[in-house]
């Protein structure tokens, strides 16, 4: 009887341990599912996770299943990947700018008080020199594509020159000068139709509209405060233009075309200065360089009025930093800072690392949330 009772006791203990492990696994599974639900449905929790990539944010309240209380956290992974593309043929500095033509080409002002003007082929990953600008481009230089054949440019450099470039003719034409000289923080924005919008910069508040058909400028409502180094514009819908103030501030504004009025939006996560830039991706997001000799890159979500850090740039961004959306999930960018670096940023869906511990049982998972679709990339049981 002794050997039999000993074996029975061992079996009972093993069975009890197995049931305990199953309860812990079930509890941990449930907690992971709850964390996913929180990320999808609890906006306050999602915001706290998104704004602190790399930091585990505890799910609250803790889940208790089968009498076992779990500890669960979510960690955001910075979205996006950076790839070095063919270097620009010359160093890029203050006043550098980029504009996409909607097809294979990105056009670029070199800035840095030079006349350099070039075209980048996306498919060929190569640069071609074009006819130089009529005069040197410096601080406040900016460039926009106005299809199908033209680009418009601010000279900046404390000048009022404004030019049109013909793609088919590879030639520049002077247009009506801006109402006053443009310098640090000068920027252009164009979406469609007859009007181009411009910040003067220069540590002033002037904001103007240019009529393409009338070749004339109109003064609009001044910005809420003076704009300087790092000032930038980006269209984000038919009625909305977003703007960085720059000037070592965190100010971020929305301009309503219909109301000819400015309003303040969520301030950036740190001060923006030389090299600050904006690029609207045509959906719900505006991407941004902080500049200021940092590698910081953010994504602003329009619907949430929220700034979210994304994958840091490969090197620090300074004077001449610029970015342009080029369709799909790609943004191209200059580093500036007198360097030749030219990068591609590939936008990726948000991903999160989830960890749940119940007793001695832990599950580590990585998920991707793309709209309403959820993909499980890793599921590791410890």
Q: What pLDDT, in 10s, does the model give residues 277-321?
A: 999 998 899 999 999 999 999 999 999 999 999 999 999 999 999
pLDDT at 370: 93
| Between 5 and 292, the higher pLDDT residue | 292
Both tokens assigned to 172 = 């520049």
Ordered alpha helix ranges (H), the chain: 2-41, 43-50
Task: Classify residue 111 by burial, with Cβ atoms within 10 Å: 0-12, 13-18, 19+.
Answer: buried
- With the C-alpha atoms ordered 206, 106, 193, 243, is the resulting torsion angle positive or negative? negative
373: Cβ–Cβ under 8 A, 6 or more apart, which residues?
none
Both tokens assigned to 377 = 């990339």
pLDDT at 68: 87
DSSP-derived secondary structure letter, 283: S
- DSSP E strands in 71-141: the ranges are 71-77, 81-84, 97-100, 105-109, 117-121, 126-129
pLDDT at 4: 41
pLDDT at 360: 87
| Between 166 and 381, the higher pLDDT residue | 166
Distance CA 1, CA 327 (A): 79
CA angle, 124 then 129 then 134, to 5°: 145
pLDDT at 372: 87
Shortest CA distance to 251 belongs to which of 199, 212, 209, 210?
Answer: 199
Chain segment 212-235, per-residue pLDDT in tens:
999 999 999 999 999 999 999 999
Chain segment 142-193, per-residue pLDDT in tens:
999 999 999 999 999 999 999 999 999 999 999 999 999 999 999 999 999 9
Query: What Cα–Cα distance (Å) separates residue 322 from each residue in 59, 91, 253, 278?
Result: 38, 13, 19, 8
């Amino acid at each position: 009887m002794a050997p039999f009772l000993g074996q029975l006791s061992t079996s009972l203990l093993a069975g009890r341990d197995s049931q305990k492990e199953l309860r812990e696994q079930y509890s941990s599974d449930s907690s992971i599912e709850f964390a996913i639900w929180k990320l999808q449905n609890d906006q306050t929790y999602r915001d706290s996770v998104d704004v602190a990539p790399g930091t585990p944010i505890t799910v609250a309240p803790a889940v208790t299943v089968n009498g076992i209380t779990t500890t669960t956290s979510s960690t955001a992974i910075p979205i996006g990947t950076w790839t070095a593309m063919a270097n620009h043929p010359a160093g890029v500095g203050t006043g550098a700018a980029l504009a996409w033509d909607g097809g294979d080409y990105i056009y670029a002002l070199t800035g840095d008080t030079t006349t350099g003007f070039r075209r980048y082929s996306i498919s060929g990953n190569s640069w071609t020199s074009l006819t130089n600008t009529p005069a040197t481009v410096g601080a406040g230089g900016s460039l926009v594509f106005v299809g199908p054949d033209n680009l418009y440019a601010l000279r900046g450099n404390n000048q009022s020159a404004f030019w049109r470039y013909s793609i088919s003719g590879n030639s520049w034409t002077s247009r009506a000068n801006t109402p006053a000289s443009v310098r640090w923080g000068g920027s252009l924005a164009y979406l469609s139709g007859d009007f181009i919008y411009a910040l003067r910069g220069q540590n002033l508040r002037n904001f103007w509209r240019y009529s393409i058909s009338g070749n004339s400028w109109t003064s609009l409502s001044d910005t809420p405060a003076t704009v300087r180094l790092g000032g930038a514009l980006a269209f984000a819908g038919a009625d909305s233009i977003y703007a960085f103030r720059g000037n070592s501030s965190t100010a971020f504004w929305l301009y309503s075309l219909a109301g000819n009025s400015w309003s303040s939006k969520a301030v950036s996560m740190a001060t923006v200065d030389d090299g600050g830039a904006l690029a609207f991706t045509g959906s719900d997001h505006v991407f941004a360089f902080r500049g200021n000799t940092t590698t910081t890159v953010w994504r602003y979500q329009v619907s949430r009025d929220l700034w979210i850090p994304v994958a840091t740039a490969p090197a620090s961004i300074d004077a001449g930093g610029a970015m342009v959306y080029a369709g799909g999930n790609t943004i191209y960018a200059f580093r500036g800072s007198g360097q030749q670096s030219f990068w591609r940023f590939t936008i990726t869906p948000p991903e999160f690392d989830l960890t749940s511990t119940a007793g001695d049982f832990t599950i580590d998972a990585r998920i991707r949330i793309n709209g309403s679709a959820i993909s499980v990339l890793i599921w590791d049981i410890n």
